[in-house]
Amino acid sequence: MLSVLLVFQFLHRLCGALVYFPSQYVEQVELEKYDGVEAGKYTLGLGQKQMGFCSAHEDINSLCLTVVQRLVERSRLSWDSIGRLEVGTETIIDKSKAVKTVLMQLFQDSGNTDVEGIDTTNACYGGTASLFNSVDWVESSSWDGRYAMVVCGDIAVYATGNARPTGGAGAVAMLVGPEAPLVLERGVRGTHMEHVYDFYKPDLASEYPMVDGKLSIQCYFRALDQCYSVYRKKIQSQWQKVGVDKPFTLEDFQFMIFHTPFCKLVQKSVGRMMLNDFLAAPNPDTQSGLYKGLQAFRGVKLEDTYSDKDVEKAFQKASLEMFSQKTKPSLLLSSRNGNMYTPSMYGCLASLLAQYSAQQLAGSRIGAFSYGSGLAASLFSMRVSQDAAPGSPLDKLVSSLSDLQTRLDARKRVPPEEFAEIMKQREESHHLVNHTPQGSKDDLFPGTWYLERVDDKHRRQYARRQLYQIKV
Amino acid sequence: MLSVLLVFQFLHRLCGALVYFPSQYVEQVELEKYDGVEAGKYTLGLGQKQMGFCSAHEDINSLCLTVVQRLVERSRLSWDSIGRLEVGTETIIDKSKAVKTVLMQLFQDSGNTDVEGIDTTNACYGGTASLFNSVDWVESSSWDGRYAMVVCGDIAVYATGNARPTGGAGAVAMLVGPEAPLVLERGVRGTHMEHVYDFYKPDLASEYPMVDGKLSIQCYFRALDQCYSVYRKKIQSQWQKVGVDKPFTLEDFQFMIFHTPFCKLVQKSVGRMMLNDFLAAPNPDTQSGLYKGLQAFRGVKLEDTYSDKDVEKAFQKASLEMFSQKTKPSLLLSSRNGNMYTPSMYGCLASLLAQYSAQQLAGSRIGAFSYGSGLAASLFSMRVSQDAAPGSPLDKLVSSLSDLQTRLDARKRVPPEEFAEIMKQREESHHLVNHTPQGSKDDLFPGTWYLERVDDKHRRQYARRQLYQIKV
């Protein structure tokens, strides 16, 4: 398996939770040399260590087939028990036929075809839209007692140049149902949507996007400001109803995860949230504590500071400990696999769960900022269940993700020359008909689906690498 | 305005409901001559009278901008009062940036950016997926008391050949909220999804789909059988819980609307549903009544009859009166504008509401079959409110749609040569950058948005034809 596939669940009744790691990645430090850029540009400037990528015989359908089947197998679910399945993706290989319909192949033997949900798209936001839709479904009269599965996946590739080191690939599948070890907090989602051309894919014949990097970072910060502001307003209003009258701040999130285009942006975002807290505080103490020495920034306006290096630096420094405590552990997968687009933030969640014990996580509030260019963004929060006893659903979830780092270490490093060659293969072949894509199935992890053939009518046939080797 | 735009609402608190009609269409009888096919092929064979179409300065964004703004204006809504807006479409002009984000321009002055929902896609099913998501949202804890707007739109165009006369274009916007004049019945949605290549758009650089017409009709019938079977099972189970023990049949729908690729298929579908009833009935009376003379078909299996002309003919004949009563009025727009894809079935709903009085509609159950190739399909039902008094929400809704026929009559007929020329213009220009598309804004109805310019970075700029002429 050449790309990261994550599977975990929001449901207490399942013990399974699994993560696939890429067997194939490129080192960012080697990519810096190969690209002839200054040392540290990708590693320090972007905060990226490695980048996973797919060969030509993987596409969005194969990624999602793998992650859905593995989740069902590992959780020992029956295919009948799923009443809804929705896919969030921006890797569009057909303008009409949804990835969801391709996944229905997996349900065929069960005879279960009564499975609501199709595909949903806006840049990296599709996974979050699917999650919200699924959670709403479970709470509505439409819910028939079965699980909702949320799938998100993408192959993030860029033309040669500045943006190429910010690629990645992967897929995540999640199960949603009642009484879960992770629960979305109700009535506090803060959403911000606006019309902007920061990152988009208008050249339908190309796998590559158009990117205005500087604008996109501004948009990301503006959306973060706006979503955080709405979130705080909503949660403070809930608090007031039960007699609690205090401002909500970053301190109230035990953990904070972000959509991660590159890790450095996330570190800056923690600083940005502190800036929001600071400006919203009626009388912040600038003599001691968190805000010490920040008096000079008391008068700034959020909208003037998107590219203000002084503000950025000061709040990044002031929030350094918060970043280390609340966010840094969530960047494990992002730093070593890159930007998976729709699954990015859910990969951060998996990284977080992988690096703490159930006891450490129990009862905590995890803040989550999801961003999709164009743009659609939401800040929401999850509560981790209190029950962290051995054998509890939370304990099982956490245990099943604990080998993340070991598996990342076990991947195959590919030199930049070979990576560039594989990117070129994708470029030249992704649209071909009557074609068998390049790529060895032996490079794939057991149980991985791959694209076997595209026939003369563009119909795609998939095969699966055997899950277990039969020993004689 | 060159395409059909429909706006109506599911909400009792709004009085507005409006329909835009194409000022531009081609006569199917003239198209038969122009294409050199036998007389009646499109008109009798497909059951189509006319076909609306868009010039090159309309795209999916402009259609949706128009329909959303007109709904808000006519309903005298404030932009603040919308908490969710989702778009169902298969007219993809950007693989990442959702139409939804383009629509956020309309909200700009209000400052309301906290509007959930993005785009959702699977062929013609996107409108139904959006509607289901919106209804679930209103019923969930995520609902913040504001309206959900469901938008669906498409431009359906085909390469020259057999499928071209089955095109069309349009957009529909609907408002969803509590206490509406039309209410989705709970817990009875019957869904069928499977993996099939009947109609798909794998050539991303083209506006045209790949179509296997024969397979697609089989798939449509199979999905109808399956959805109707699940729907009946669910509603009969509800009935049994309240002591009613009888089979659900077509008779229990006062009206039945369908996704309408072409009208003849819908007429056959009513026969198909009767075949389902007939085969499910324990002891159907074949001596008299509905099923008279159908004894010979008692032993057929549904799956063997997708292209069985004898079965089709017999049940089409037997269901003729039912078709005339329950379905034919809903085909007004489809027969005269063609297939709008995602809005197709919602155009049927508008046609139905346009041709009956509130008194005639009050209390009735409307069955609805939504189909999207690939495939995703659902059969669900709506109940019309009992209150049909003058001035009631139902009365207002119905009145606002009553001029549908008159407006269709007022459109401009375009000869097939000119239609073919405009299709060619679209083909040659839909992907161009640094480009001002052809098309006169004077041909558009007042209040219509159009594509003004695509710049060198593929960014699209829109303008609106003035809503009202200022009289001096």
Residue type for position A109:
D
Q: C-alpha distances in angstroms, A176 versus A73, A272, A392, B189?
A: 16, 31, 17, 20
Parent domain of B413: 4-186+408-464
What pLDDT band is residue B150 in, cutting at 50, 70 and 90?
very high
Residues 179-238 of A with CB under 8 A from B: 186-187, 189-197, 199-205, 209-210, 226, 230
Query: Mean pLDDT over residues B185-198, rounded?
Result: 96
Which conformational region is residue B145 in: left (phi greater than 0), alpha (psi within -120 to 50 degrees), or beta?
A: left
The whole-number pLDDT of residue A439 equals 84
Burial A374-400 (b: 16+ CB within 10 A, else e): bbbbbbbbbbbbeebeeebbbbbbbbb
A254 in a domain, yes or no?
A: no
Beta carbons of B286 and B292 less than 8 angstroms apart = yes
Q: What are phi and psi of A263, to 5 degrees?
A: -65, -35
Q: What is the CA radius of gyration of chain A?
A: 22
Residue of B12, B57, B259, B430 marked catalytic? B259
Number of domains in chain B: 1
Looking up tokens 């207490």 gives A12
A152 counts as catalytic: no
Tens-place pLDDT, residues A159-182: 998 899 999 999 999 988 876 789
* Cα distance between residue B326 and residue B268, in whole Å: 13
Alpha-carbon distance of A89 to A342, in angstroms, equals: 6
On whether any CB of chain A is under 8 Å from the CB of B75, the answer is no
DSSP element (H, E) containing A367: strand A365-372
User: Is B396 among the domain residues?
Assistant: no
How close A225 gets to chain B, by Cα (Å)? 12
Is A259 considered catalytic here?
yes
Q: Is any Cβ of chain A less than 8 angstroms from the Cβ of B378?
A: yes
Contact A187 B376 (CB under 8 A): no
Reported ipTM: the value is: 0.95
Would you say residue B219 lies in a domain?
Answer: no
CB contact under 8 A, A123 and B96: yes
The CA radius of gyration of chain B, in Å to the nearest whole number, is: 22
- CATH assignment of the domain containing A124: 3.40.47.10
Number of Cβ within 10 Å of residue A468's Cβ equals: 7
Chain B partners within 8 Å of A435 (Cβ): none
Chain A partners of B125 at a C-beta cutoff of 8 Å? 118
Instruction: Please confirm, yes or no, whether B124 is among the known catalytic residues.
Output: yes
The closest of A53, A22, A93, A161 to A425, measured between CA atoms, is A53
- Encoded amino acid at A380, one letter: F
Give the pLDDT confidence of A342-386 residue by residue, as tens digits: 999 999 999 999 999 999 999 999 999 999 999 999 999 999 999
Closest chain B C-alpha to A441 CA, distance in angstroms? 24
Task: Report the pLDDT value the prediction gives residue B403, as an integer from 0 to 100.
Answer: 82
- The CA distances from residue A140 to A151, B134, B359, B370, in Å, are 20, 11, 31, 21
| Alpha-carbon dihedral A176, A182, A184, A190, rounded to 10 degrees | -120
Burial A181-190 (b: 16+ CB within 10 A, else e): bbbbbeebbb
Q: A113 at the B interface (CB within 8 A)?
A: yes
Residue A160 lies in a domain: yes
Closest CA to B261 of B291, B225, B218: B218
User: Which chain B residues have a beta carbon less than 8 Å from that of A117?
Assistant: 129
Residue B381 within any structural domain of the chain: no
A119–B120 C-beta distance less than 8 A: yes
Q: Is A97 in Cβ contact with B201 (below 8 Å)?
A: yes
Would residue A470 count as lying in a domain?
no
Distance CA B454, CA B451 (A): 8
Question: Which tokens is B171 given?
Answer: 């957009």
A78 labeled binding residue: no
Instruction: Find the largest Cα–Cα distance for chain A.
Output: 74
Is B248 domain-assigned?
Answer: no
Looking at the complex, report in whole angstroms how far the Cα of residue A389 sits from the nearest Cα belonging to chain B: 29
Q: Tell me which residue of B32, B46, B23 sits closest to B169, measured CA to CA.
A: B23
Q: Which residues are CB-neighbours of B314 under 8 A, at least 6 positions away?
A: B293, B294, B297
Q: Give the pLDDT confidence score for residue A157 in this predicted structure.
A: 93
Q: What is the three-class DSSP state of A436?
A: coil
B377 lies in some domain: no
| Interface contact flag, A372 B95, Cβ < 8 Å | no
Per the model's pLDDT, the better-predicted residue between A59 and A444 turns out to be A59
Which tens digits make up the pLDDT trace of B390-442?
A: 988 898 888 888 888 888 888 899 999 999 999 999 889 988 999 999 888 88
| Interface probe, candidates B107, B136, B200, chain A, greatest A C-beta count within 10 A | B136
Task: Write the pLDDT tens digit of every residue in B39-76.
Answer: 999 999 999 999 999 988 999 999 999 999 988 998 88
Residues 404-443, chain B, touching A (beta carbon < 8 A): 431
pTM equals 0.95
